[in-house]
Amino acid sequence: MAKRRLGRGLEEILGEVAQAYEREIPQNEVVEIEIDAIRKNPYQPRKHFDPVALQELAESIKSHGLLQPIVVIEDLDGFMLIAGERRLRASKMAGLTKIKAVVAKIDRHRYREFALIENIQREDLTPLELARSYKELIHEYGITHEELANIVKKSRTHITNTLRLLNLSPYAQEALNEGKISAGHAKVLASLGDQEQAAMVDRIVQERLSVREVERLSRQRQEPRGSFDLGPVVQELQDLGLRATRRGNRVAIEFTNSNEVRRFLQILAGDGEL
């Protein structure tokens, strides 16, 4: 029952985000504040900012000014950013010392929610940023992939496939962020071990392999002579949100904290799912 209440709370937050902003962030109260007085939101899941796009925005700000103010809240020794990190970064690049902002009155417990709202509703998030946002929502509210899919109006397959990107090795994640491989490539690579991912990334870049070609090569790597097909097993484990990869005739599951271990034990006991 607690899980359902949390799920409904999240749905209300995401489903009525426009009303929430209008109610809690008075858009007509725009002020100018010192850029150096603003610190980043520690709950901001967005990590990658395209330097070329930032420079273009900075040039636009120089020419036309900042058209949309950022959103901040008052902090102990200044302000903390809630929405608009890209605009803040570009304004710094443009040489501005002050920036237009709306000072919102938001409960401290909702900082994370508003940062996630801003990110999950954006169209220009990288696949990995979206995956991290989904993962945080699932852990924050204790909901399943199916429940999140219903809340954000996406398919369960989309949620699961996006979360699978978090199984990528750092090397493959960097290649994805830099556009060397596509999200389609990355979803195939996620079922491989780290060394296999690195080798496949290099082949994709050098040989310009299509997603279908990578799928074929991946199946060949995962099915050595005399072995049996563990692909469906790995897929099923990943669908449950586990960081599972195939290594020869073995399946490896990696955990980052004790909570993930406990959830895995619950799955084995048939008492729950991730």
Domain map (residue ranges) of the chain: 17-119, 155-269
Residue-wise pLDDT for 213-224, tens only, equals 998 888 776 655
Model confidence, pTM: 0.52
Closest CA to 101 of 22, 29, 19, 21: 29
Q: Identify the bridge partners of residue 83 per DSSP, sorted by sequence position.
A: 71
User: Which pLDDT value is given to residue 45?
Assistant: 57
pLDDT at 175: 94
Catalytic residues: 85
Residue with the bigger pLDDT between 223 and 17: it is 223
- The pLDDT value recorded for residue 46 is 63
Residues 192/218, Cβ–Cβ less than 8 Å: yes
- Residue 202 to residue 220: CA distance in whole angstroms: 17
Calculated CA dihedral for residues 97, 101, 104, 110, nearest 10 degrees: -70
Q: pLDDT tens across 85-143, in order?
A: 888 999 998 988 899 888 877 666 566 666 666 666 555 678 888 888 888 778 777 77
* pLDDT score of 5 more than 60: no
Domain 17-119: assigned CATH number: 3.90.1530.30
Which pLDDT band holds residue 44 (cuts at 50, 70, 90)?
low
With contact defined as beta carbons under 8 Å apart, do 41 and 70 qualify?
no
Non-local (6+) Cβ contacts of 100 within 8 A are 30, 31, 32, 66, 69, 70
Largest CA distance in the chain: 70
DSSP code of residue 78: E
Report the phi/psi class of residue 50: left, alpha or beta, with left for phi > 0 and alpha for psi in -120 to 50.
Answer: beta
CATH topology of domain 155-269: Arc Repressor Mutant, subunit A (1.10.10)
